[in-house]
Amino acid sequence: MSDGSTERAGAPGWLVLVYRVPSEPTRHRATVWRRLRSMGAVYLQNSVAAMPAGKASEHALRKLRREILDMEGTALILSAEALAGNSEVLALFQQARDAEYEEILDKCGDFHAGLEKEYAASHFTYGELEENEVELLKLRGWFEKVQARDAFGAPLREKTEAALAACGEALEAYASRVYEEDGGEA
């Protein structure tokens, strides 16, 4: 175990939100949880969440703090440097991003399965092509949101990026087939 001094070297700073929201209505707690999750924050314990320090993080937490106060709750935003345990906080952050990337990877698998189903049914229509294009755009947008909060390059980032590229290639192949079936040129 380190004394903390070597662990701090080059360690990121953190913003920590400590809050309390009245127990009723319960939707307020759910709102705060959803907001924190969408920002990429990780919970250190109940009602204590952290995220990498930065202007965007600070702005988002300040906005959330105002919302919590409007809910008749309390909230503090602290700027913190982990004196010990930084690697554990970083690991939590990386696990959270990898969980999000894993969801996208699962959806990429579903995307390929959907295209395979179209091939099996010889269903090559512009409507299906458009539907699949929309789905791929959603996946790419989701990835961009996760990537934006992935401050440290979580392990599954590159694999997810490659999976999305493979989805794009598969869609291009399907599009070529749709154009062929229509009698046009690919």
Quote the pLDDT of residue 11.
62
Which of residues 84, 119, 154 is at a domain's end?
Answer: 84
Tell whether the model's pLDDT for residue 1 goes beyond 50.
no
Number of structural domains (the chain) is 2
Tell whether the model's pLDDT for residue 2 goes beyond 60.
no
143 within some domain: yes
Tell whether the model's pLDDT for residue 116 goes beyond 80.
yes
- Tokens coding 118: 């179209």
Residues 96 and 170 in one domain: yes
Residues 141 and 166 in one domain: yes
Quote the pLDDT of residue 184.
59
Residues 92 and 177 in one domain: yes
Tell whether the model's pLDDT for residue 15 goes beyond 60.
yes
Which of residues 68, 84, 100 is at a domain's end?
Answer: 84
Query: Residue 3 — very low, low, confident or very high, per pLDDT cuts 50/70/90?
Result: very low
Tell whether the model's pLDDT for residue 10 goes beyond 70.
no
Quote the pLDDT of residue 142.
97
User: Edge to edge, what strands does the sheet with 48-52 contain?
Assistant: 42-45, 48-52, 14-20, 74-80
What is the rounded distance in angstroms from the CA atom of residue 98 to the CA atom of residue 37? 13
Tell whether the model's pLDDT for residue 29 goes beyond 80.
yes
Residue 38 or 12, more confident: 38
Residues 108 and 73 in one domain: no
Which of residues 19, 50, 84 is at a domain's end?
Answer: 84
Residues 174 and 102 in one domain: yes
State the average pLDDT for the chain.
91
Residues 98 and 163 in one domain: yes
Quote the pLDDT of residue 8.
45
CATH number at residue 20: 3.30.70.240
96 within some domain: yes
Q: Which of 29, 54, 23 is nearest to 43 (CA)?
A: 29
Q: For residue 44, what are the domain limits?
A: 5-84
The pLDDT tens digits of the residues spanning 49-93 come to: 999 999 999 999 999 999 999 999 999 999 998 878 889 999 999
Q: Is 51 helix (H, G, I), strand (E, B) or coil?
A: strand
Tell whether the model's pLDDT for residue 47 goes beyond 50.
yes
What is the rounded distance in angstroms from the CA atom of residue 49 to the CA atom of residue 80? 12
Task: Give the mean model confidence (pLDDT) for residues 110-120.
Answer: 97
141 within some domain: yes
CATH number at residue 105: 1.20.58
Q: Give DSSP secondary structure letters for 120-164.
A: HTT---HHHHHHHHHHHHHHHHHHHHHHHH-TT--TTHHHHHHHH
Task: Give the mean model confidence (pLDDT) for residues 23-49.
Answer: 95
Residues 94 and 140 in one domain: yes
Tell whether the model's pLDDT for residue 6 goes beyond 50.
no
Provide the whole-model pTM: 0.84
